[in-house]
Structure 1
Amino acid sequence: MTLVNFRDPAALADPEGRWVRPGVIHRSAQPFPAADAAIVEQLRSAGIVTVIDMRGEAEADAADWAAAQADGVEVVAARIEPTDDGALEAAMRTMTEDADLGAFYLLMAESAPGAVKLAVEAAARPGGLLLHCAAGKDRTGFLTAILLDLLGVPAEEIVADYARTNQALTQIFEGLAERNRAALNDFNAGSLTVPRPLLEAPADAMAAFLDLVQARYGGTEGLLAHCGVDAATVEAFRAKAAAGATAEPTAEVTA
């Protein structure tokens, strides 16, 4: 089985090649149930040498990427997961509007600065990369948005790329349900409540996220600086991924 919700944002958000070098950034959901020969071939064909896994510790399994790692793919665990201060849980409980989901994304980034830093540093390394979380929607969505914004992709194209995940939600939720039977049972029993925006990929959520980043940090570079990402890493990523780039950076940025 191949990766669900797999795509190169450059192909759809920037088909004319004005901002993003094709074949550098890819996004998807987690492998269902784990990477197999078909997924390894999918990565190889796309030129992916680094997988950035943003799932929390409890979501991931060592077997998920074992076949890819055996094929030489490096997997970077950049765990963006709830902290113990309760802020993310409180935000989820009060989420009703699409814009609330955008605010939730910024809170996730702010609550895991080390993971955001690790992910962006890994994205600046030579070679194609794959970003994923569980659904390939929320954490993958806001980190992809950050990277595309660094390359100058207009907000409306970033929003449109994020919203394309709606087309894959049926497959995504089927895969998550099969993998997370215990959580699904809790949900069916009424002990878990998932806000409506979290079950979708609403364009207004990503638009709100980008607006909040601009208002609070002056843009994505300011947010990344807040997370500890230095200017050299940002420039290394641009040198690799910007439209017109023809070669990989000569020096690898280490996490």
Structure 2
Amino acid sequence: MNRHLEWEGCFNTRDLGGLPAAGGRFTAPGAVVRTDAVERLTEKGWLQLWEYGVRTVVDLRNPDEHGADAAPRPPGLTTLALPLAPPQDGGAPADLWSTGIQGTPLHYPQLLAEFPQRTARVVRAVALAEPGGIAVHCVAGRDRTGLVSLLLLALAGVPAAAIAADYELSAERLPGLFAAVGEPDRQAELEAPLRRAGTTAAAAVVAAVTSLDPVEHLRAGGLSDAEIQAARTRLTTGRLP
């Protein structure tokens, strides 16, 4: 399946369905969509989101990153603000922000290890959302959204290589986003920490996945086994358990 979605106003949108999962199954199309900030959606874009079946939006951005919507959201759409990144002042170890690895998957293991409550509450939102699809987004739909996508796909039993391949798809979409918002293409800047570390984005994602036990991580973040199973069921069937 072509997982890329064309929602007018967004540039890095794709369905997490259609990927190989545990037990010979596949992740369910329409269950979870990853995207860049939906506030840029036009009236047509919001209609496209709604017609795709999305009924819940999970916003991973910090409050100071929020802006005004370009067009009104559909009535009946639920939006949950669940910031993923810890605050830079007082809420996170200094080395998380000083090493220059944020904005790459190199910082995923540290975030997962030190802030399980933040990732777990996003997975809980997926597990307990009302019927319909869920759109998860940050600003560019790459790294915070990529971390949540990694955790959800790992929970569904998607192989590490397939999770890494999904992450890499953002690289071909970001130039259009940067151009649309009047920013220079930042691909070289984003790749520099990976080069310094002697690795690639794909290899960093694979390393993060292979070092992660998604069930134990979510338990550490406060999720019950029933909530964990509900999230897995939703990812693999597209339905509430």
TM, length-normalised to structure 1: 0.74
Distance 1:47 1:197, change over 3 A: farther
Question: Which residue identity does 2:76 align to in structure 1?
Answer: G
Q: CA deviation at 1:139?
A: 0.7
Q: CA deviation at 1:92?
A: 4.2
1:229 and 2:232 correspond: no
1:127 and 2:132 correspond: yes
C-alpha contact (below 8 Å) 2:10/2:177 kept by paired residues: no
Residues 80-103 of structure 1 show CA distances to partners (whole Å, capped at 9, x for unaligned) of 12332475652343247x9x9434
Residues 142-184 of structure 1 show CA distances to partners (whole Å, capped at 9, x for unaligned) of 1101111111111111111111111112023334555xxxxx9
Distance 1:230 1:175, change over 3 A: farther
Distance in 2, matches of 1:194 and 1:93, equals: 15
1:164 and 2:156 correspond: no
1:210-221 pair list within 5 angstroms = 210-213=209-212, 219-221=213-215
Counterpart of 1:34 in structure 2 is 40
1:164-183 pair list within 5 angstroms = 164-175=169-180, 177=182
Counterpart of 1:203 in structure 2 is 202
Q: CA RMSD in A?
A: 3.2
Identity of aligned residues (%): 30
Distance in 2, matches of 1:246 and 1:122, equals: 14
Residues 172-211 of structure 1 show CA distances to partners (whole Å, capped at 9, x for unaligned) of 3334555xxxxx9xx9xxxxx8772489x82122112213
Distance 1:44 1:232, change over 3 A: same
Distance in 2, matches of 1:210 and 1:86, equals: 25
Distance in 1, matches of 2:180 and 2:222, equals: 34
TM, length-normalised to structure 2: 0.78
Question: Which residue identity does 1:229 align to in structure 2?
Answer: L
Distance in 1, matches of 2:110 and 2:209, equals: 13
1:56-67 pair list within 5 angstroms = 56-61=62-67, 63-64=68-69, 67=72
Distance in 1, matches of 2:107 and 2:15, equals: 25
Counterpart of 2:85 in structure 1 is 81
Counterpart of 1:117 in structure 2 is 120
Distance 1:203 1:34, change over 3 A: same
Distance 1:121 1:246, change over 3 A: closer
**Number of aligned pairs?**
222
C-alpha contact (below 8 Å) 2:59/2:83 kept by paired residues: yes
Distance 1:176 1:210, change over 3 A: farther
Counterpart of 1:216 in structure 2 is none
SS at match of 1:130: strand
C-alpha contact (below 8 Å) 1:49/1:72 kept by paired residues: yes
